[in-house]
Amino acid sequence: MNFSVLTIFPEMVDPFLGYGIIRRAIEQKKISVSSVNIRDFAKGRHRVTDDKPYGGGCGMVMKPEPLSAAITHTQKNTPDSHTILLTPQGRPFTQDLAHDLSTLPGLILVCGRYEGTDERICHSLIDSEISIGDYVLTGGELAAMVIVDAVTRLIPGILGGEDSAEKESFENGLLEHAHFTRPQMFEGDEVPEVLLSGNHKEIDLWRLESSLMRTLLKRPELLEEKPLSRQEKEILKKWGRQIETLIHV
Ligand code: 6GU
């Protein structure tokens, strides 16, 4: 997977590439990430990339010419890439969308800045728009890094454990189960006994219950969207009966 990040602040993106799984993925040539400085495509002595909005109002707008030149240049270099504008108005970024993007040969991530991007860029050069949540950032750079991170770890061969990506939060519509490591007793708090039992059937059941419980308590709306298996329904019913007994005593 080849990522190109188009930004007026390439210095923001570069340090992020030097750590952990992203660094290893680059070293192993599973991904490449190049930042493209939009300012390099701006004309004039001051290489201006913004201008006042037509119609007045506060804030500045990203000028179309340098951005268009930067995008066209990058698209020529990586013709199979999908071009994404990072904007709070985009499609919400989710684990499902991360999976879809991880199958593409390349992504060109265009980081908006200022109050907005000239609309004609969106009309002519952008394949899709993505937002990383309902809040406003000062620019798309953090969003681009979020996408590089979430997509990279889904590329086959990137994560250590064979199936570590599948068992995680959101992969099956649930939050992931609780984790424990040594010591067995920490500040008076003990590791659940079943996890020490070596009984993998019991452990799997405990993990499913932990997963369901955490989702119910922390993100109940996820359960409404998820088609529940028979086993999951049985677990929820069991809890329902236990709660009923508690409130009737
Ligand atoms: Cl992609 N860009 C900006 N500027 N703000 C955001 C965002 C993107 N996603 C959420 N907020």
The CATH number linked to 218 is 1.10.1270.20
Q: What pLDDT is stored for residue 27 in this prediction?
A: 98
**Are 153 and 146 within 8 A, CB to CB?**
no
* Structural domain of 65: 2-152
**Is 134's C-beta closer than 6 angstroms to any atom of ligand 1?**
no
Indicate the SS3 state at residue 50: strand
The C-alpha angle with vertex 141 and arms to 135 and 146, in degrees rounded to 5, equals 75
pLDDT band, residue 212 (cuts 50/70/90): very high
Dist. CA 43 → ligand 1 center (Å): 27
Domains held by the chain: number: 2
Give the residue-averaged pLDDT of 84-96.
Answer: 97
Strands 50-51 and 61-62 come out as antiparallel
Q: Which of 105, 131, 152 is the last residue of a domain?
A: 152
What DSSP letter does each residue of 57-117 carry, written as one string? -SS-EE-HHHHHHHHHHHHHHSTTPEEEEEEEEEEEP-HHHHHHHHTSSEEEEEE--TTEE
Does residue 173 lie within any of the structural domains? no
- CATH of residue 110: 3.40.1280.10
Shared domain check, 212 and 140: no
Same domain for 23 and 141, yes or no, is yes
Ligand 1 mutation pick, 83, 86, 91, 145, max ligand atoms within 8 A of CB = 86
Confidence of residue 114 (pLDDT cuts 50, 70, 90): confident
Please check whether residue 111 lies inside any domain of the structure. yes
How much is the pLDDT for 201? 98
Q: Does 116 contact ligand 1 (Cβ within 6 A)?
A: no
Atom of ligand 1 nearest to the CA of 137: 5
Statement to judge: residues 9 and 114 lie in one domain: yes
pLDDT cut 70: percent of the chain above it = 99
Whether 28 and 125 share a structural domain: yes
Same domain, yes or no, for 38 and 118? yes
Q: Are 140 and 37 in contact (CB under 8 A)?
A: no
Tell whether ligand 1 has an atom less than 6 A from the beta carbon of residue 88.
yes
The pLDDT of residue 163 is above 80:
no
Q: Flag whether 171 is in a domain.
A: no
DSSP 142-209: HHHHHHHHHHHTTSTT-SSSTTTTTTSTTTTSSPPPP---S-SEETTEEPPGGGGS--HHHHHHHHHH
In a domain, 136, yes or no: yes
Least confident of 19-33, 131-145, 157-171: 157-171
Report pLDDT for 165. Answer: 76
146 neighbors 137 (Cβ within 8 angstroms): no
Residues 222, 132 share a domain: no
Q: What is the pLDDT of residues 18-55, one digit of tens each?
A: 999 999 999 999 999 999 999 999 999 999 999 999 99
Task: Determine, yes or no, domain membership for 88.
Answer: yes
**Cβ proximity of 208 and 235 under 8 Å:** yes
Q: How far is the CA of 148 from the centre of ligand 1 (A)?
A: 15
Same domain (yes/no): 141, 237: no
- Asked whether 136 lines ligand 1 (CB < 6 A), one says yes
- What is d(CA 82, CA 205) in angstroms, rounded to the nearest whole number? 41
Give tens-digit pLDDT for 227-237. Answer: 999 999 999 99
Question: 204 and 148: one domain?
Answer: no
Q: State whether 211 and 101 are in the same domain.
A: no
Asked whether 86 lines ligand 1 (CB < 6 A), one says: yes
Min mean pLDDT across 114-123, 175-184, 210-219 is at 114-123
- Residue 133 and residue 17 share a domain: yes
Do both 36 and 122 map to the same domain? Answer: yes
Give the pLDDT score at 162: 53
